[in-house]
Amino acid sequence: MQKVLFIFGTRPEAIKLAPLIKKMKKNKRKFDVHVCVTGQHREMLDQVLHFFDIVPDFDLHIMKKNQSLTKLTARIVSDLESIFTTVNPDRVIVQGDTTSAYAGALVAYYHKIKIAYVEDGLRSGDRYAPFPEEVNRKMISQLADFHFTPTTLAASNLYNEGIKENVSIVGNTVIDALFMGLETVKKNEEKYVQFFDFIDFSKKIILVTGHRRENFGKPLENVCVALKEIARRDDVQVVYPVHMNPHISKPVYNLLGKSSDIHLIEPLDYPFLLWLMNKSYFIITDSGGIQEEAPSLHKPLLVTRDVTERIEGIKAGTAKLVGTDTKKIVSEATTLLTNQKKYKIMSSVPNPYGDGHASEKIIHILQNT
């Protein structure tokens, strides 16, 4: 039996690791599963844990107001020391690009414990975009012993960096989570209809999300101006669950709070976001997870970033990079709203990020190595 320790701290990590945790826990003859959350996100993390019925064994509660990346990293590294002593795991599993993932991998390396890295190999090519995620990924890749990549392109990125052993192309676990979540959501359809009764679904719904540090300030203001212009159309309603970070919420509410066809709402619990994604016409986002999920729902994406490590969606045609240029965002949104042929092309491309069986492939590899 392998003693496995999962370390994560944010909502996206929890979503992407939930299917793997749940399936590993069912295989009790092979895996003794322990879950440690750092609390890098708090309310948003707890929502996902509750939805997937995951109870952490350890919670570091590390977040403090206006905490710097330096202090955040130092606290996680320091607090994980006692967890490793208590659990003494055979393997540590981390996912993605967060400070929690990097710190977890670093402490595992210090303890000479093998590291399995889920969603390895993503690269934007710009060490400051996304920041600090791009460099976090590169550092975790160097520390990891097992590299689970979502696509062939991600695997080739690792090969180009000299990482060639134990690289496995498995797809992205976010698709596993998406299908698991949708099954639950469909059983409670009326609850979601009632929750979103303020939306006029006779119109085309544009879902907007945003949280990237590199878009703070003027870039975010440019996006807001574009949304105001798009929302002037009679056939459109914009729904924007606004991130809690004041660097985002303050300018968004200042610029868009009085627009009648833009609904600014609080961040959505994961199942409510899934339901709304499924009902939307297309999505404007800077989220990596949504770039991976939306193609399975046949929703075109406009990505408000200058570069993305999710290149596969751009190449496949499910998404377009529009950056934070107001005119470009308005132009591409208008095209999707008025050109049925182009909309159909973007919405019908198969998801390049997987088929919903990534967790099973990871488990098969780990239990046989």
Q: Are 128 and 145 in contact (CB under 8 A)?
A: no
Residue 182: inside a domain: no
Q: Are 76 and 99 in contact (CB under 8 A)?
A: yes
pLDDT at 351: 92
DSSP 197: T
Q: Looking at the chain, list the stretches that DSSP marks H as alpha helix, in order from N- to C-terminal side.
A: 11-26, 43-51, 69-87, 99-110, 133-143, 152-160, 173-186, 189-195, 218-230, 246-256, 270-279, 288-293, 311-316, 326-338, 340-347, 358-367
- Band of pLDDT at residue 366, cut at 50, 70 and 90: very high
Residues 6+ apart with CB under 8 A from 110: none
How far apart are alpha carbons 90 and 81 in whole angstroms? 15
221-230 confidence digits (pLDDT tens): 999 999 999 9
Q: How many CA atoms lie within 13 A of 24 on its CB side?
A: 27
For residue 94, list its beta bridge partners. 117
Residues 6+ apart with CB under 8 A from 65: none
pLDDT at 211: 83
Q: Are 345 and 163 in contact (CB under 8 A)?
A: no
169-179 confidence digits (pLDDT tens): 999 999 999 99
Q: Are residues 232 and 105 in the same domain?
A: no
Q: Are residues 94 and 230 in the same domain?
A: no
Q: Are residues 195 and 126 in the same domain?
A: no
Q: Which CATH number characterizes residue 44's domain?
A: 3.40.50.2000
Q: Are residues 360 and 248 in the same domain?
A: no
Q: Which secondary-structure segment (H or E) carries 325?
A: none
Q: Are residues 69 and 135 in the same domain?
A: yes
Residue 183: inside a domain: no
**Residues 41, 91, 137, 211: which is the catalytic one?**
211
For residue 92, list its beta bridge partners. 5, 115
Question: Domain range for residue 252?
Answer: 189-347
Specify the number of domains making up the chain: 2
pLDDT at 81: 95
Residue 178: inside a domain: no
339, two tokens: 């050109």
Residue 177: inside a domain: no
Q: Are 269 and 258 in contact (CB under 8 A)?
A: no
pTM of the model as a whole: 0.86
137-163 confidence digits (pLDDT tens): 999 999 999 999 999 999 999 999 999
Main-chain phi, psi angles of 336, to 5 degrees: -65, -30
213 is catalytic: yes
Residue 181: inside a domain: no
Q: Are residues 262 and 362 in the same domain?
A: no
**Residues 97, 176, 214, 269: which is the catalytic one?**
97
pLDDT at 39: 84
pLDDT at 255: 94
Residue 179: inside a domain: no
111 is catalytic: no
pLDDT at 216: 84
How far apart are alpha carbons 331 and 322 in whole angstroms? 9
- Band of pLDDT at residue 43, cut at 50, 70 and 90: confident
97 is catalytic: yes
User: How many CB atoms neighbour CB 160 within 10 A?
Assistant: 11
Q: Are residues 205 and 163 in the same domain?
A: no
For residue 3, list its beta bridge partners. 32
Question: Could you tell me the sign of the dihedral formed by the alpha carbons of 299, 348, 187, 170, in that order?
Answer: negative
Is the confidence at residue 232, as pLDDT, over 90? yes
Q: Are residues 308 and 363 in the same domain?
A: no
Q: Are residues 250 and 136 in the same domain?
A: no
- Band of pLDDT at residue 244, cut at 50, 70 and 90: confident
User: Following DSSP, what letter does each residue of 287-303 receive, concatenated?
Assistant: -HHHHHHGGGGT--EEE
pLDDT at 320: 96
337-356 confidence digits (pLDDT tens): 999 999 999 999 999 998 89
**Residues 42, 111, 213, 233: which is the catalytic one?**
213
**Residues 11, 41, 75, 119: which is the catalytic one?**
119
Q: Are residues 222 and 343 in the same domain?
A: yes
pLDDT at 4: 98
- Band of pLDDT at residue 60, cut at 50, 70 and 90: very high
pLDDT at 40: 77
pLDDT at 291: 93
pLDDT at 288: 85
Q: Are residues 221 and 363 in the same domain?
A: no
Q: How many CA atoms lie within 13 A of 318 on its CB side?
A: 21
Q: Are residues 205 and 250 in the same domain?
A: yes
DSSP 41: S
For residue 153, list its beta bridge partners. none
pLDDT at 213: 78
24-42 confidence digits (pLDDT tens): 999 999 999 999 999 877 7
What is the average pLDDT value for the chain, to the nearest integer? Answer: 94
Residue 180: inside a domain: no
Mean per-residue pLDDT, 6-22: 95
How far apart are alpha carbons 60 and 257 in whole angstroms? 36
**Residues 133, 176, 309, 312: which is the catalytic one?**
133
Mean per-residue pLDDT, 277-306: 94
69-115 confidence digits (pLDDT tens): 999 999 999 999 999 999 999 999 999 999 999 999 999 999 999 99
243 is catalytic: yes
Helix 173-186 vs helix 358-367: crossing angle, to nearest 10: 130
pLDDT at 245: 85
60, two tokens: 């570091």
Residue 256: inside a domain: yes
